[in-house]
Amino acid sequence: MSIYMTARFRVKRHAIEKCRQALKDLVAHVRDNEPCTIVYLAQQEIADPTRFLSILIFENETGLLLHRNSPASARFVETVYPETLDPIEFTEYNVVADRNE
């Protein structure tokens, strides 16, 4: 069963570019190394560029665990977590409707 999640966070203003690059590096790793990650979309809020939202879809629990335990995720944590203003908020969702079904 697929796992649908978001990750929402806000960073210190001086760290915006550093965190943008960390997201780009993480998504590149996901694209090249995590076939069980169906979607990893990293977004930055227009009105407040210190706010980020990622949308994640994993094929299954194995895909989620592979992502969480990857070296790229560890680098992301080391880089971004110290720059956040609050803890990163992870939320799981159930799909109500999907245009592809």
List pLDDT tens digits, range 3-32: 999 999 999 999 999 999 999 999 999 999
| Tens digit of each residue's pLDDT (9 = 90 or more) over 48-90 | 999 999 999 999 999 999 999 999 999 999 999 999 999 999 9
- Write out the residue range of the structural domain in which residue 67 sits: 3-93
Q: Is residue 38 part of a domain?
A: yes
Is 54 among the domain residues?
yes
**pTM summary value:** 0.94
CATH number of the domain bearing residue 33: 3.30.70.100
Q: Is residue 69 part of a domain?
A: yes
Q: How many domains does the chain have?
A: 1
Cβ neighbours of residue 30 closer than 8 Å, sequence gap 6 or more: 37, 40, 67, 72
